[in-house]
Amino acid sequence: MSGKNTEKNIETEGLSKLGGVTSYRYRNPGPDILEAFANLYPQRDYLITLTHPEFTSLCPLTGQPDFATVTVRYVPDKLCVESKSFKLYMAAYRDHGAFMESLTNKIADDLIAVLSPRRLSVSGVFNVRGGTAISVQVDHIDPSLPGTRRDSLASLWRIYSDSR
């Protein structure tokens, strides 16, 4: 038994990074690196959390490294991000120069472009540099959702936050 499932599967259809040879790109992060698979439970609101404690980028002026823990939380609609492609996407920031505020917003924008989630937040907690700690939080709620649905998502967010 090889352990590799060769049957066609709706969850893995179209994915190219998972199970293949890993090729890292350490600059030019973009949404083209991210892959998504079908959410098999679109009728249900549920929260997915991805934590990347080894995020690295460069200061655009000094070239000094910035380190952070980046946490992405989202409620999927039709698509979920594939985790290996997310890891490769995050690695693409390694030699990328940008301010922390821009980085966090770009990560949110790229995930929104690929996934169109019902709700998404990206939190960047950057290590202290120069005696200052910086945290950046970006939040997004699908503007096309009706008010009651938006309230329901806000409640889901509170339940998660209260349980931590």
Please report the pLDDT score of residue 107 as a whole number.
98
Please identify which of the residues 32, 45, 66, 95 carries the catalytic annotation. 66
Band (pLDDT 50/70/90 cuts) for residue 1 is very low
Catalytic member of 32, 45, 59, 139: 59
The pair of structure tokens assigned to 25 is 């790109």
**Are the CB atoms for 161 and 127 separated by under 8 Å?**
no
109 is catalytic: no
What tokens does 120 get?
């998404």
Spatial separation of the C-alpha atoms in residues 107 and 98, rounded to whole Å: 12
Coil vs helix vs strand at 118: coil
3-state helix, strand, coil in the chain (%, to 5): 25, 30, 40
Helix residue ranges, H only, the chain: 83-91, 100-115, 147-163
Q: Report the alpha-carbon distance of residue 2 to residue 21 in Å, rounded.
A: 17
| Residue type (1 letter), 99 | F
So where are the chain's domains? Answer: 31-163
The per-residue pLDDT of the chain, averaged, comes to: 88
* 23-75 pLDDT, tens digit each: 777 778 999 999 999 999 999 999 999 999 999 999 999 999 999 999 999 99
66 an active-site residue?
yes
The CATH architecture that domain 31-163 belongs to is: 2-Layer Sandwich (3.30)
